[in-house]
Structure 1
Amino acid sequence: MLASAPWASADPDALRVTAVRTFLCAPQGCPYVIVRVETNQPGLYGLGCASDPQRTRAIRSVVDDYYGPMLVGRDPSDIEDLHRLLLNSGYWRGGSIGQNALAGVDVALWDIKGKVAGLPLYQLLGGRVRQAADAYTHVDGFEAGEIAEKVLAAAEGGYRHVRVQVAVPGTDTYGTAPRDEAERRRRALRSGSWDSLGYLRHVPPVLREIRDRVGPDVELLHDAHERLAPSQARELVHEVEDARLFFLEDALAPEDAAHFGQLRAAGSVPLAVGELYHDIGMYLPLLEARVIDFARIRIPTLGGLTPTRKLVAAVELFGARTAPHGPGDVSPVGMAANLALDISSPAFGVQEAAAFREATREVFPGTPVPERGRLHPSPLPGLGVDFDESAAAKYPVTAPLEHDRWALLRNTDGSVQRP
């Protein structure tokens, strides 16, 4: 039971939480955890995204068995107070599972607040500072010419920012489609291997050639996905200088973040990091040292909008920019929360934007969809995204361990490699 608020209204008809429900569904192929906070006002509820595709059921248990029962009977307007109480309700605080569960509840409370006010969520965060949020899409391939054609096609469709991933022959490369069925099977079983030296030999020249082919008018991004040692990351920064990237993402794992100063000294390539961070305090040393240019923020993993909006303010104060995480495993509810921050923050840089399937748009009416490379906010109160429970039932999640098998990736010498 949470400590009661001394300012709580004694009016029996005052706004109260009556139920907190969770839903598991997978219209995008990856499992989503959706939280719905219901109230005593007919038709008034809020939605939140608590999606971590590797720990779906554990997160659901935290919401159903702990946070949900604690919230029943409380005033959903007291978002800051409730967030702090729920965070401190477990003595050992933080971690991805607890933070995702907390985020699902927190974003749902913000959704309710927007609906009560009759305002889009970005209006509650300070109001609009831009018309739309620039988005980036993903392309990949094996050869520079092939990838460059895809980049130019994306640019023709209105995208000014494109992430490019390069398949490395003979290695299990992040962010690229398998070449054939045999490779698809190796990846499913994680029986292939990762060759960081092969990556360093192959990828930089391909990125440089892509830049030569597409010219200067398209912003190129690349994700190393934390698969390099610090010395290798320094080499990569030096080698991709002429590719003139908009940013290089996750050149270092969170455990190696102390080496970002060396990456900064190795070249002028803008650096992005943060999608794996589960505490906003993890960004602060990097921002203070001015060694990163973009904070990759994942609202569910950071515990919701309540802490993330504070991080975004810090990003602005330190002269960096935000690049919120928005792959397919962030639901449209989570994407709408991203967009509320994108539209209201001067620190916004670019928004990763998944291509949501038709099934996903069916389950989530109001799903944000890029128009010529830009995301426009909904004018509806709250998040502007709804959830169709009956449609969601058509897309059940897979059994635990079926979606991703990150821990089976190994290096060429047989040792375990980060995902």
Structure 2
Amino acid sequence: MFIEKIDVFCTSPGRTFVTVRITTSDGVVGYGDSTLNGREQAVATYLRDHLVPMLIGHEDGAIESCWQLLYRGVYWRRGAITMAAIAGIDMALWDIKAKRANIPLYQLLGGRSRTGCLAYGHAFGKDIPNLVEHAHGLLEQGFKAVRLQAGIPGHDSNYGVPLPNQVDQGNLPVTEYWDTPSYLRFIPEVFSAARSELGEEVHLLHDSHHRLRPIEAARLAQDLEPYRLFWLEDCVPAENQEVYRLIRSKTVTPLAVGEVFNTVWDAQTLVTEQLIDYLRMSITHGGGITAMRKIFDFASIYQVRSGIHGPEDVSPIGMAAAIHLDTALHNFGIQEYSGYQSLSMDVFTPDFTFESGMLFPGEAPGLGVSYDEELANAYPYERSYLPINRLRDGSVHDW
């Protein structure tokens, strides 16, 4: 059987998603996620204008061959747009293959390595009491692991904390401001209070979101050691992987990196030198199931576990793919799960479930996610961007 038709949808049911639908010559349909926050139209155009024409008539079951064609068959490799586009095609082909076999996808990946996948939720607050209250709410929902992000005194905006009075910029990026010294003074207070209020059993996580210099990250990681974090995430920009040698040498706080990575080459040094504990790459942005299974198998040799990126701007299709892979991986660590707006879940109807702090893949054939095209098309694409981050002196900083 072969690929007969590929549709690409770029719609905004709750937020913007790029969805790939592949239809085979015998009528089997598979879905994939190619969403790239703030650059969705670029991925959709890359798919429609460049990849789709190459794939019509390709054998739908030859997934590895297809992946290599899309990656090696062009001169310009890698990059977020290319890898997100490949990921959507790849997921849809795996969805089709599992549907043909009439089994859930994780069975094709080797079957269960675990009964459920530990998940973490996002707790935030304008101050410490508000943050602790939100974290308690997540624990009541069943979460056993919580990422903590709190408003920093003197900051009118902070990563991970919704802006209270965000000014409409006409669908252009808003500007946030950052001050590293005040952040470094405040965050240990956050975790001291959280550990005291939430207890010793809950797993606590934190994301610095690329905003520190190496020596600052080392200092923060040392200061947080008494509170036994599950991990400290993306403490510095990791384009220069070698900077983690300094951080690793100064702390025993576990380190997680990689939600902006696109290929194994972005993490090669970090993994082979065991400079991190968790690799955060997303299936949607890392080339799909074919690529990510290989990357995590590679990481397992060096005792690095998975911590797949699972924000709301990865669609429920991408989340389903992550949960199926999580279920099969031996070196699974934890799965980010920020949840979805109800409108998004009306368009994408997944059969994965969350219970008692764990995510469970469904038993429907394939990825187990349906897609309501008519409802999705009622919400046309809306341009939206992540913020821009600046220091107090006005210079552009990492976001």
From the superposition, tell whether residues 77 and 192 of structure 1 become closer, same or farther in structure 2 (CA, over 3 Å): closer
The 2-side partners of 1:393 and 1:368 are apart by: 24
Read off the aligned partner of 2:88 and give its amino acid letter.
G
Structure 2: which 5+ runs fail to align? none
Give 3-state SS (helix, strand or coil) of 2:259's partner: coil
1:36, CA displacement in angstroms? 0.6
* 2:271 corresponds to: 287
| Structure ranking higher in strand proportion | 2
1:186, CA displacement in angstroms? 8.6
The 2-side partners of 1:185 and 1:243 are apart by: 36
Give 3-state SS (helix, strand or coil) of 1:410's partner: strand
* 1:304 corresponds to: 288
Deviation track 1:191-232 (CA, whole Å, cap 9, x = no partner) reads: 442111111111122222211221111000000000111121
* TM-score normalised by length of structure 1: 0.91
* 1:11 corresponds to: none
Kept in 2, the 8 Å contact 1:20–1:69? The answer is no
1:38 aligns with 2:23: yes
Deviation track 1:129-158 (CA, whole Å, cap 9, x = no partner) reads: 111111111011133333223222322221
1:97, CA displacement in angstroms? 0.6
- 1:32-71 map, 5 Å: 32-42=17-27, 44-71=28-55
Please identify, of 164-173 and 329-338, the stretch whose mean Cα deviation from structure 2 is larger: 164-173
* 1:361 corresponds to: 345
* 2:300 corresponds to: 316
From the superposition, tell whether residues 186 and 176 of structure 1 become closer, same or farther in structure 2 (CA, over 3 Å): farther
The 2-side partners of 1:28 and 1:136 are apart by: 22
1:18 aligns with 2:7: no
The 1-side partners of 2:30 and 2:318 are apart by: 12
* 1:417 corresponds to: 397
Kept in 2, the 8 Å contact 1:246–1:270? The answer is yes
- 1:3-402 map, 5 Å: 15-29=1-15, 31-42=16-27, 44-171=28-155, 172-178=157-163, 180-181=164-165, 184-185=166-167, 190-366=174-350, 368-399=352-383
The 1-side partners of 2:37 and 2:25 are apart by: 32
Give 3-state SS (helix, strand or coil) of 2:285's partner: helix
Q: Percent identical across equivalent pairs?
A: 36
The 2-side partners of 1:230 and 1:173 are apart by: 21
Read off the aligned partner of 1:33 and give its amino acid letter.
V
1:362, CA displacement in angstroms? 0.9
Please identify, of 361-370 and 47-56, the stretch whose mean Cα deviation from structure 2 is larger: 361-370
The 1-side partners of 2:38 and 2:350 are apart by: 26
Read off the aligned partner of 2:18 and give its amino acid letter.
V
Kept in 2, the 8 Å contact 1:332–1:368? The answer is no
Kept in 2, the 8 Å contact 1:130–1:343? The answer is yes
* 1:12 corresponds to: none
Structure 1: which 5+ runs fail to align? 1-14
Kept in 1, the 8 Å contact 2:122–2:146? The answer is yes
Kept in 1, the 8 Å contact 2:37–2:386? The answer is no
- How many residues are aligned here? 396
